[in-house]
Amino acid sequence: MSDALPEPATEVLDDREGVPFVGAGPGDPGLLTVRARALLADADLVVHAGSLVNSELLDAFCDHAEQVNSVGKDLEELVPLMRDAHEAGRTVVRLHSGDPSIYGAALEQMDALESEGVPTYFVPGVTSAFAASATLDTQLTLNEVANHVAFTRPQGKTLSPEEDHISEFVRMGDVTTCIYLGTHAVRETMDRLLDDGVDPDTPVAVVYHASWPDEDVIRGTVADIADAVEEAGYRASALVVIGEAVTGGGYERSYLYGDWASSGGGGEQEPDADDTDAITEGSTK
């Protein structure tokens, strides 16, 4: 698929100097941004996030460059590696999975490089929650179903039990809760939700490798999803999505198209023919 993509135009690059911290998107090389692709085409050294970045993407867009897997390397190793390459006049790209601003630990690398005199900047990418939402054929916000989205992670080494707010988000009722870094802890998370009084029938989807060729979706409820995930054997690389929006059903027509529907058209924001699905009340999906 990536072979068919046109070469990136150089004008999509701006004149920023230094090391870009680039989002690689969720996995599908087609979800790389045009700017990311142009930066990779120009790179001599790509420091990437290991197995979270699809090797198909690295093969397609980074084959010409030296590639370094950052997994298992600490800041004391990574920062001099990128600094020295930059100072030697090589073009360096730091490639994070999804979007670097979500559970990416990008800023600490950027601050360390900046303190060594190397400028840095962000280039956003498609975070895995958005790929998961597309896989589930739903919206993360859905009129009268979900007014808010929480990007969160379960308690563990980084987050103490007091800092884990998953139950609070889910109990709010109109929040779609997207749990990163939680595949290994689905049972503990669901047990905590049940202990905290969450409705056991609350819908949950676990999207493994969203947008990858081996993408998989497990659907269930707070009461039964853990068994299904354990049966599938997933311990990493999945997004756990909790809330009614997971089903794509039960929504009300949005205000945006309501006027058009009742007046028969002519409003400022009249949808075109492709938007007629948006005014159909309460999808049964």
**Which stretches of the chain bind ligand SAM, using CB under 6 A?**
26-27, 52, 96-99, 102-104, 127-128, 131-132, 180-181, 183, 207, 209-212, 236-239
Q: Which is nearer to ligand SAM, 43 or 136 (CB)?
A: 136
**Which residue of this chain has its Cβ atom nearest to ligand SAM in the complex?**
98
Note whether 242 and 182 are within 8 A (CB). no
Closest CA to 94 of 72, 79, 77: 79
Q: Which is nearer to ligand SAM, 192 or 209 (CB)?
A: 209
Beta strands in the chain (DSSP E): 19-23, 45-48, 66-69, 92-96, 120-123, 148-152, 175-179, 203-208, 216-221, 238-242
Q: Which is nearer to ligand SAM, 135 or 251 (CB)?
A: 135
CB of 238 to ligand SAM, least distance (A): 5
Q: Which is nearer to ligand SAM, 45 or 238 (CB)?
A: 238
- What's the rounded Cα separation, in Å, for the pair 53 and 29? 9
Closest CA to 179 of 152, 199, 206: 152
Beta strands in 133-202 (DSSP E): 148-152, 175-179
Contacts 24+ apart (CB under 8 A), 1-7: 1/29, 1/30, 2/29, 2/30, 2/56, 2/57, 2/60, 2/61, 3/60, 5/29, 5/30, 5/37, 7/41
> Which structure tokens are listed for 271?
């949808």
CB of 49 to ligand SAM, least distance (A): 7
Q: Which is nearer to ligand SAM, 97 or 109 (CB)?
A: 97
CB of 260 to ligand SAM, least distance (A): 35
CB of 279 to ligand SAM, least distance (A): 31
Q: Which is nearer to ligand SAM, 8 or 23 (CB)?
A: 23
Residue 172: CB atoms within 10 A of its CB come to: 14
CB of 129 to ligand SAM, least distance (A): 7
CB of 123 to ligand SAM, least distance (A): 13
Q: Which is nearer to ligand SAM, 82 or 102 (CB)?
A: 102
Q: Which is nearer to ligand SAM, 217 or 279 (CB)?
A: 217
For the chain, give percent helix, strand, coil, nearest 5.
Answer: 40, 20, 45
Note whether 53 and 125 are within 8 A (CB). no
Residue 273: CB atoms within 10 A of its CB come to: 5
CB of 209 to ligand SAM, least distance (A): 5
CB of 271 to ligand SAM, least distance (A): 31
